[in-house]
Amino acid sequence: MNTLKAFLATFSTKSRPKKMNIDSIYDIKINAINAKPINLLHYRDKHILFVNVASKCGFTPQYKDLQTLNNKYKDHLEIIGVPCNQFGNQEPNSEEEIESFCKTNYGVTFLITEKINVKGKHKHPLYSWLTKAINNGTKNSTVKWNFQKYLVGPNGDLIDYFLPTINPLSSKITKHLK
């Protein structure tokens, strides 16, 4: 019986996701595309829209609408683009090339981070928080493709996520910003 208990205890511990050792999303460390640390706490009291982005994706034109959204709601919204090369090798560029591409082609002025992983074994802690209910307190999700969006409220709670097919200017997103 003790062997069975030990086995079950080991199994249940391994299969249960572990909560991150942080108090809130504002404790997560990530760098801007220029390698400078981003202090997410600066965006407390604002909505934050995290979007995993890529330069060579069919959804790349959403950069334009993300910039429009940024301009319209800049007083209470921070958009943070998160380059990722995990979907179809659609962000193979260096961070310098990504930054130049965004500014030149779409006039992007919102924050872009360093290139990270948003899924898998080497998933960045930001996406461990965004995609795991045990961390975000709301829901589990998986990042399906480039330009999936995660909206965090001014209090640091996950509001919802939006699949890549949802345009950044959709009322599904903007209704939370009014």
Please identify which residue in the block is written with the tokens 């069975």: 4
Return the C-alpha torsion angle 36, 40, 42, 44, nearest 10. Answer: 170
> What is the sign of the dihedral through the CA atoms of 171, 105, 31 and 129?
positive
Active site residues: 57
Phi, psi of 97 (to 5 degrees): -65, -40
Residues 6+ apart with CB under 8 A from 110: 66, 67, 70, 78, 79, 80, 81
Please identify which residue in the block is written with the tokens 């334009």: 64
18 CB burial (10 A radius; 0-12, 13-18, 19+) = exposed
